[in-house]
Amino acid sequence: MLRFMDWSVVALGCLLVLGSLGSRWWERIMVSKGHSPDQGIRFFWTWFPLLMGLGMIGAKVPGLLHAPHLVVELIDALNFALTITVLFFALRSGRRIFRRRGTV
């Protein structure tokens, strides 16, 4: 049962990545039809789900595939760097959105 739950986390990460790619594709279609892209919210619709999905996949797959300890530790370090990067970009993007609205 625990193995199934781990694979479900991987599947959810894959759905997040696919949803992010679909959102990017949809945005390109709308821009080609003449709509202007919303640069402020773009991070939360395209990049945030992509990076979170990659983090979820990277956290579970090496252990599920019985990778060597060195590989698991390396992937964990990369996931930590990815987490810090996502946090930085989310705060920067959120600050930019609030500044544009005049609340900060």
User: Mind spelling out the 3-state secondary structure of 19-84?
Assistant: HHHHHHHHHHHHHHCCCCCCCCCHHHHHHHHHHHHHHHHHHHHHHHCCCCHHHHHHHHHHHHHHHH
Distance, first Cα to last Cα, the chain: 47
| The token pair that represents 47 in the structure block | 């990049």
Per-residue pLDDT at 12 exceeds 90: yes
Q: What percentage of the chain reaches a pLDDT higher than 90? A: 37
Average pLDDT over residues 90-101: 77
d(CA 51, CA 19): 12
State the amino acid at position 36 in one-letter form.
S
- State the virtual CA torsion across 13, 16, 17, 18 in degrees, nearest 10: 120
Quick one: DSSP state of residue 4?
Answer: H
Report the share of the chain in percent with pLDDT over 70: 88
Residue with structure tokens 């992937």?
75
Does residue 104 have a pLDDT over 60? Answer: no
Give the least confident one: 18-27, 40-49, 74-83, 87-96.
Answer: 40-49
- Looking at residue 40, its pLDDT comes to 54
